[in-house]
Amino acid sequence: MNFDEIKEGFVIRIKGANYYIVSEGREVKCFLRGKFRISGDRDKILPVVGDSVKFRKQSNSKSVDYAGLIVSVEERKSVFARSTSFGTRREKILGANLDYIFLVHSVIEPVLSLRLIDRMIVAAEYGGIEPVVCINKIDLSDDLGALKKELNLYVRMGYKVLFCSAIEGKGIEPLRELMKNKRSLMAGPSGAGKTSIISKLQPNLEFRISRVSAKTGKGRHTTSHFELHPLSSGGYLGDTPGIREFGVNQIEKNKLHLYFRDFCNFPDDCRFSTCVHDHEPGCAVKEAVKDGEISEKRYDSYIKMLRNLSRNE
């Protein structure tokens, strides 16, 4: 095959060895130049969904079959990743160059976990992406007022918190407005209703809807891979396989506090510059917790993450 001019685009889908690129409004099927397969750190160099790439277009190709050869991956502006397993810093990149991560959680089925939300927010902050908390299934809530009061701690930190019901169609328009002309990813536990929300946002997207297992209470997620889908209102949206465990082991222990917005005004007042806000005397963060300036639940989430990182080290 002959390849000539260099083109630019971004990855919207990966299937096996095939990379599908959007370039100049057209989808191009590409494969990788050999240098990617022999590089030392494949996980960081191989393209992921959302990556901006340069590719050589196949000469006189009118077919989508192997119409391009990817030659380089541009520097990533943002990354959403989780650690691949307990006890390792190795990360699995879920998407790159995204504007928003919509953290979709449900009131029940599965039960709302603020600690999981905290870990996912930390991963988004670490990767330079704005997280949006989206609570689905509000139609199942016994006390929506109390739920909103509990989630208000994130609003006070400057995060957007949306409440919706995919079944009743509530809260869909604010989601649609935020996603307009942006590249977004939905992530959350299995059964929280990500694909149901997407089907409300754009009904022509052919997603199979996840159902929660009555036996385990955990979702049987039907999305087997992540890809970006164009939205009729502008922008791209992706869905990820349901998350049951979400690690942040890729973050250094002494930097974890940087990704807690509610801590940002206090660490400089700690007695020790190396304070990690756990057992040290004269810790301004712990004092802020005692004074009610930092939520005890948020601090507990921080300590749990911190000690997991300490065990990994």
Q: Look at phi and psi of residue 191 and say left if phi exceeds 0, alpha if psi is from -120 to 50, else beta.
A: left
Q: Is the pLDDT of residue 72 over 80?
A: yes
DSSP 200-263: HH-TTS-PPPPEE-TTTSSEE----S--EEE-TTSSEEEE----S--B-TTS-GGGGGGG-GGG
pLDDT band for 138, please (50, 70, 90 cuts). Answer: very high
Residue 145: DSSP 8-state: H
Pairing of strands 219-220, 211-212: antiparallel
16 falls in which pLDDT band (50, 70, 90)? confident
Residue in this structure with the two tokens 């050999």, named with its chain if needed: 34
Residues in the chain: 313
Is residue 110 reached through a cis peptide bond, with omega within 30 degrees of 0 on the bond before it? yes
What pLDDT does residue 240 have? 79
Cβ atoms of 237 and 223 within 8 Å: the answer is: no
pLDDT(74) > 70: yes
Q: Go through the domains of the chain in sequence order and give each one's CATH number.
A: 3-73 (2.40.50.140), 79-239 (3.40.50.300), 253-312 (1.10.40.50)
Q: In b/e form, how buried is each residue of 114-145, taking b as 16+ CB within 10 angstroms?
A: bebbbbbbbbbbbbebbbbbbbbbbeebeeee
3-state secondary structure of 53: strand
Strands 18-23 and 228-230 come out as unpaired
| pLDDT tens per residue, range 25-70 | 889 999 887 766 544 444 557 899 999 999 988 766 555 455 788 9
What pLDDT, in 10s, does the model give residues 175-231?
A: 999 999 999 999 999 899 988 898 899 887 754 334 333 444 444 443 445 789 999
Other Cβ atoms less than 10 A from the Cβ of 40: the count is 6
